[in-house]
Structure 1
Amino acid sequence: MSEPKKKIRIGDLLIQNGVITEEQLMTALGEQKKSGRKLGQTLIDLGYVDEDSLLNLLSRQLEIPFVQLKHYQFNQELIKKLPEALARRFRAIVLDEQQGSLLIGMADPMDLMALDEISQKVQQPTRHAVVRESELLSTLDMVYRRTDEISNLAEELDSELSDDAFDLAELTATGDDSDAPVVKLLQSIFEDGVMARASDIHIEPDENVVRIRLRIDGVLQEQEMKETRINAALVLRLKLMSGLNISEKRVPQDGRFNIRVKNRSIDVRLSTMPTQYGESVVMRLL
């Protein structure tokens, strides 16, 4: 079973501990009705309490840990136990598993509805920790990667390529090709890189696979795709975007282009390198 849930009102808790006054609570409640935000965040926004003081108080009162996510080492398999939609909806993330019990970090560990739905979804006993909402939101962008989407798009692109070549005219068309599989695949790769805060993206062909590698905090994280034919299509599209010579495949080339990802402007520095199995690409995201 999950750990016992303690019903408690955050406003009463803060008043009992002398953190805020009755008048401040009434003001915050009025503001909360207008904004629709949670009371705790409303109190923080009004300057009546700082976030760390509030979270430490919740940690002591609920007898749960206060976990700082900034330098936390996440387990990708554990994270997947809670679907991204629920993680974002309830501001929650799976942190650890011990003896079959999951430790769930939450921005609001007093949200009983969220606790119940999470427990039903993971179908395991759960324990809870409190985390900073700001850290949690940025962490969710980083840990919920687009690897499955990238794999599916790679398969879609591979199925559209002929046995021995891809349609150069189609890929170089100047019309609206935002739905072309190669474009959607590149978009997902870039979005994945930006969400994971990657400094570099590598696309490397091998005999039996194409490797997509993201450099995150100095460490290369790799995804392999068995659709080796997609490499040429990706390199061609990137060369076109960079204004490089698409007919030259035997010498390295350098270029750059600018893209918008998640409403951010990203300057991409690109280098190609001929290899035994095709051209590899390294892109620096600035």
Structure 2
Amino acid sequence: MGKARRKLGEILVRLGAASAEEIEKAVNLAKGAGKRIGEMAVEAGFVSEEDLAKALAKQFGVPYVDLKDERIADRVEPSLLPEELVRKHQVLPLGKANGRLRLIVHDPMDIELLDMLRFRLNTDIEPILAPRSQIKALIDRKLSGPAQAAPQESLVTESIDRTIDTSVDASIDRAAADAPIIKLVDRILTEAVRMRASDIHVEPMADRVRLRYRIDG
């Protein structure tokens, strides 16, 4: 049986970032507001955003970085990801090591985001924690000006990043009505082979069916 993860409040108290009384108040406030304890502790002024990030890093056993340190900030490589991903999800690449993308994030509990990025980037990810405000400030500094397309050397090439959404057109609808299901499936598979798709996603909708072909370059 795995070792139980320490509670965030206990870690914050041990770090000297907050008192036990302040954590207790944050717990009660969080329950009433439907928020996380750490988020509430920062909003109430009991804990700094930096101390919260350090505590979360300890709780989840991931590295913490201070992006105000220019030596670390200089190593950040936003060009490794499409700019829209960096801006939308507030993440920053810190290079690759042992075949894994070292990715600076602000929320280690956002498993859905990490899984989505692993799938979309087709690579394993090593999360690294930093305060959200520091990530945002560095993104604004590194990517000043209007959003631009990802450069050629991006980890996500155009072919990998491209997911083709296509609805089943009228001809396929007619094929489904006039021919056995085997012919319809054969046509879908033939199209996937022609497009060199790695995945086929079938999404039933109210009045039609949507096919999503994932193209991996």
TM (norm. structure 2) is: 0.52
How does 1:140-151 map onto structure 2 within 5 Å? 140-145=139-144, 146=146, 148=148
1:56 pairs with 2:54: yes
Q: CA deviation at 1:61?
A: 2.0
Structure 2 counterpart of 1:45: 43
Q: CA deviation at 1:40?
A: 3.0
Distance 2:31 2:85 in 1: 26
How does 1:1-286 map onto structure 2 within 5 Å? 12-15=7-10, 18=13, 19=18, 20-32=22-34, 40-70=38-68, 71=70, 72-74=73-75, 76=77, 79-145=78-144, 146=146, 148=148
Question: Percent identity between the aligned chains?
Answer: 25
Deviation string for 1:258-286 (max 9, x for gaps)?
xxxxxxxxxxxxxxxxxxxxxxxxxxxxx
Distance 1:140 1:45 in 2: 23
Structure 2: stretches of 5+ with no match in the other structure: 150-217
Q: Secondary structure at the match of 2:58?
A: helix
Distance 2:63 2:102 in 1: 10
Structure with the bigger RCO (C-alpha within 8 Å, sep 6+) is 2
Q: CA deviation at 1:114?
A: 1.2
Q: CA deviation at 1:84?
A: 2.7
Report the residue type matching 1:46 in the other structure. Answer: A
Change in CA separation of 1:143 and 1:81 when aligned onto 2, cut-off 3 Å: same
Report the residue type matching 2:66 in the other structure. Answer: Q
Deviation string for 1:141-160 (max 9, x for gaps)?
122355857xxxxxxxxxxx
Distance 1:80 1:22 in 2: 43
Distance 2:96 2:127 in 1: 11
- Contact 2:83-2:148 at 8 Å conserved across structures: no
Change in CA separation of 1:39 and 1:116 when aligned onto 2, cut-off 3 Å: farther
More strand by share: 1
Q: CA deviation at 1:124?
A: 1.0
Report the residue type matching 1:31 in the other structure. Answer: A
Change in CA separation of 1:60 and 1:16 when aligned onto 2, cut-off 3 Å: closer
Change in CA separation of 1:83 and 1:147 when aligned onto 2, cut-off 3 Å: closer
Structure index of larger Rg:
1
Q: CA deviation at 1:46?
A: 0.6
Q: Secondary structure at the match of 1:108?
A: coil
Change in CA separation of 1:23 and 1:43 when aligned onto 2, cut-off 3 Å: closer
- Contact 1:81-1:122 at 8 Å conserved across structures: no
More helix by share: 2
Report the residue type matching 2:57 in the other structure. Answer: S
Change in CA separation of 1:88 and 1:25 when aligned onto 2, cut-off 3 Å: farther
Q: CA deviation at 1:99?
A: 2.3
Q: Aligned Cα RMSD in Å?
A: 3.0
Q: CA deviation at 1:129?
A: 0.6
Distance 1:88 1:41 in 2: 21
Distance 2:4 2:110 in 1: 9
Report the residue type matching 1:73 in the other structure. Answer: D
TM (norm. structure 1) is: 0.41
Q: CA deviation at 1:116?
A: 0.9
Aligned residues: 136
User: Runs in 1 of length 4+ with deviation above 4 angstroms?
Assistant: 6-9, 15-20, 145-149
Q: CA deviation at 1:136?
A: 0.7
Q: Secondary structure at the match of 1:88?
A: helix
Distance 2:40 2:23 in 1: 15
